[in-house]
Amino acid sequence: MDKKPETQTSRRKFLTGAAAATAGAATLGFPMIAKSASPIVLKMQGAWGAKDIFNEMAEEYVKRVNDMSGGALKIDYLVAGSVVKPFEVLDATSKGVIDGAHTVAVYWYGKSKVASMFGSGPITGADASQNLAWIAKEGQKYYDQLMKKLGIDVVGFFAMPMPTQPLGWFKKPIKSAAELKGFKYRTVGLAADLMQELGMKVTQLPGGEIVPAMERGVIDAFEFNNPTSDRRFGAQDVAKYYMMGSYHQAMEFFEIDFNRKKYEGLPKELQAILKYSAEAASTSNFATAMDNYSKDLLELRDKEKVNILRTPQSVFDAQIKAWDVIVKRLSDADPFFKEVWQSQLAWGKRVGYYNFFNTADYKAAYEHLHGKLGF
């Protein structure tokens, strides 16, 4: 029997309404990114040379922002020196010369030694991943206060828990802490204070200036960060002893900055992409690091004939005692440094307690499967 016309009309209305309701639900379930005819473009400069692995890590952050914004936002990334020098990217971002920077906080610690607490600060008993968690849960508010105190007009995020940085490159092996005295040595941040406490003569240089300084005799030993960066800029050509492990920079993180006015002028959803892309890049950066650092350490050993040595325990012992002296001196001189240090120290005590009771003996497992490491 044929359906009545009014029944057919009612059914069409129902289906049309249901489709509209479904579309509405989909719209509610998936937040829309505001798109303009052309993307908002942010100019970001890194503190890294074109060949540095850190440049690739900066580009991993940029890719995530650009991909997730759906064409509404684009970061135009520039390598070190494109607009300003590596140590100048924070000021340039604050002043609006560039819109953003990919750097590390220790590069501007001359403004305040508290800056090193967000990079290569004193030892707390927590490792890099655990200290990055401190920034996420407690430290960000101190960073924001520091920016306000210094009149730096930026919004900053942190990414990539960097592994312990090697003691560095030497022309002869270091067998004791006493042998460090008198070396002309390159490092940055509070690590400079630490190594000076051990009797070294410290020069602070960006990565691209290290090998030329070594060749000219400005320095006679140095550290930068990791086997891949070191190998790419030619560390193995000016020294053949690579001392692995140290307390001078046992942790560090990338600092990703944006000019505050530029950031706050963006739609909220684009602000969120800039913020949470740092977390996404952190995972990607660490994977890139593990893959490359491990390969390049073996290449340094096997192809470049570099002597890979573990830093002597006496150096670790001397460094941790020197940290005690430095932390007391800075805490006595600056109540804000003391406040930040106390927060980080309490975090390290709590998180370290959990970690050391719970963590498996990975070294024993490694030696069971792969043989003795020799130290």
Per-residue model confidence as pLDDT tens digits over 14-48: 334 444 444 444 444 545 555 556 999 999 999 99
* The pLDDT value given to residue 214: 93
Low-confidence ranges of the chain (pLDDT < 70): 1-37
C-alpha span between 226 and 117 (Å, rounded): 20
Sheet holding 100-103, edge to edge: 73-78, 40-46, 100-103, 254-259, 154-159
Contacts of 221 (CB under 8 A, 6+ apart): 168, 169, 170, 171, 183, 184, 185, 186, 239
**94-135 pLDDT tens trace:** 999 999 999 999 999 999 999 999 988 999 999 999 999 999
* The pLDDT value given to residue 208: 85
Decide which of 3.90.950.20, 3.40.190.170, 3.30.200.20, 2.30.22.10 is the CATH code for 40-163+252-290. Answer: 3.40.190.170
**143-157 pLDDT tens trace:** 999 999 999 999 999
pTM of the entire predicted model: 0.88
